[in-house]
Amino acid sequence: MPRKAKKKQYFTQLTENAIIRHNKENRPYMRERIYNDHIRFAFEKLAENIIHTFKFYYFDVPSEDVKHEVVSFLYMNMHKFTEGKGKAFSYFSIVAKNYLILHNNNNYKRMKQHDDYSVTDYKRNPMTEMKMKDKKEMNMEYIMILADYWKNNLTTVFKRKKDLDVANAVIELIDMKDRIDNFNKKALYILIREMTGSNTQHITRVINVMKKHHVMLKKNFEFSGSVDTKFTGSFL
């Protein structure tokens, strides 16, 4: 029986070495040459594979255009890769997936809203919509307070580094609330997992602790309209 042909790798140690050289190079023409000769193809294949493997298809432009957007995003973030802190392939895979998760979900909601408008316009209630707008504004104010609370109390509640890493990732996502409002729970867990390297079980444990604080904070906010973000006691 003939041996199965070995799949050719497109993102190798040579690619990583080229990225490191590119980041250290100060001459623009040399940076461009290194990128075009040794990095561009790897970025294009990486973007293409992630788009089709994870089925990021909710875009209003052809997948080839989406691929070019991802490659451009990888290029803009290339300087953030640090030699010795993990493999370049893993780092840029996460960067590409995070970009696609964000824009895929935003586009899905926008496309769904467009489809729904023609069906639901005649049912709209202006008074209900005004109340919903007020509630959304109040929720955004609370989200800002929640982020401040955790920034002041994080190391009081969590002592272990791996717990702090997860909690910090959650806070970072809270700060990005206006950009990730359309994420579903699974997408958020994927982001936190890739930001921290923690498994889902550990992430869930940390989030459950944060939820207990959230419940009491939310009650205080709804009752008084404010929260003492420098509170260092325990709600548990």
**20 and 93 share a domain?**
yes
**153 and 73 share a domain?**
no
pLDDT of 33? 96
The distance from CA 203 to its chain's CA centroid, rounded to whole angstroms, is 15
Tell me the whole-structure pTM to 2 decimals: 0.49
Q: How many alpha carbons lie under 13 Å from residue 199 in its C-beta half-sphere?
A: 2
- Is the Cα torsion angle 50, 54, 66, 72 positive or negative in sign? negative
Do residues 106 and 182 make contact, with C-beta atoms less than 8 angstroms apart?
yes
**139 and 220 share a domain?**
yes
Last residue of a domain, one of 68, 92, 107: 107
Q: Please, which pLDDT band fits residue 180 given cuts at 50, 70 and 90?
A: very low
**136 and 94 share a domain?**
no
**39 and 88 share a domain?**
yes
Q: What percent of the chain has pLDDT over 90?
A: 26
Last residue of a domain, one of 58, 73, 107: 107
The total domain count for the chain is 2
CB count within 10 Å of CB 170 equals: 21
Domain assignment present for 165: yes
Question: Is the predicted pLDDT of residue 115 greater than 50, yes or no?
Answer: no
**69 and 137 share a domain?**
no
What are 100-110's pLDDT values in tens digits? Answer: 887 765 554 55
Least confident of 35-44, 91-100, 154-163: 91-100
**82 and 27 share a domain?**
yes
pLDDT of 171? 82
What's the rounded Cα separation, in Å, for the pair 231 and 236?
A: 13
pLDDT of 185? 65
Domain assignment present for 6: no
* Sequence letter at residue 204: T
**146 and 217 share a domain?**
yes
**73 and 137 share a domain?**
no
Last residue of a domain, one of 54, 74, 107: 107
Q: Which residue range(s) make up the domain with 97?
A: 13-107
Question: Mean pLDDT across the stretch 194-223?
Answer: 84
Q: Please, which pLDDT band fits residue 225 given cuts at 50, 70 and 90?
A: low
**25 and 95 share a domain?**
yes
DSSP assignment, residue 84?
T
Domain assignment present for 209: yes
pLDDT of 63? 82
Structure tokens at 82: 């640090």
What are 72-109's pLDDT values in tens digits? Answer: 999 998 998 989 888 898 889 888 888 888 776 555 45
Structure tokens at 87: 């493999």
Domain assignment present for 199: yes
Domain assignment present for 116: no
**199 and 136 share a domain?**
yes
Domain assignment present for 34: yes
Domain assignment present for 213: yes
Q: What percent of the chain has pLDDT over 70?
A: 70
**98 and 26 share a domain?**
yes
Do residues 108 and 58 make contact, with C-beta atoms less than 8 angstroms apart?
yes
Name the range with the highest mean pLDDT among 31-35, 136-140, 222-226: 31-35
Domain assignment present for 47: yes
Q: Please, which pLDDT band fits residue 7 given cuts at 50, 70 and 90?
A: low
Q: Please, which pLDDT band fits residue 133 given cuts at 50, 70 and 90?
A: very low
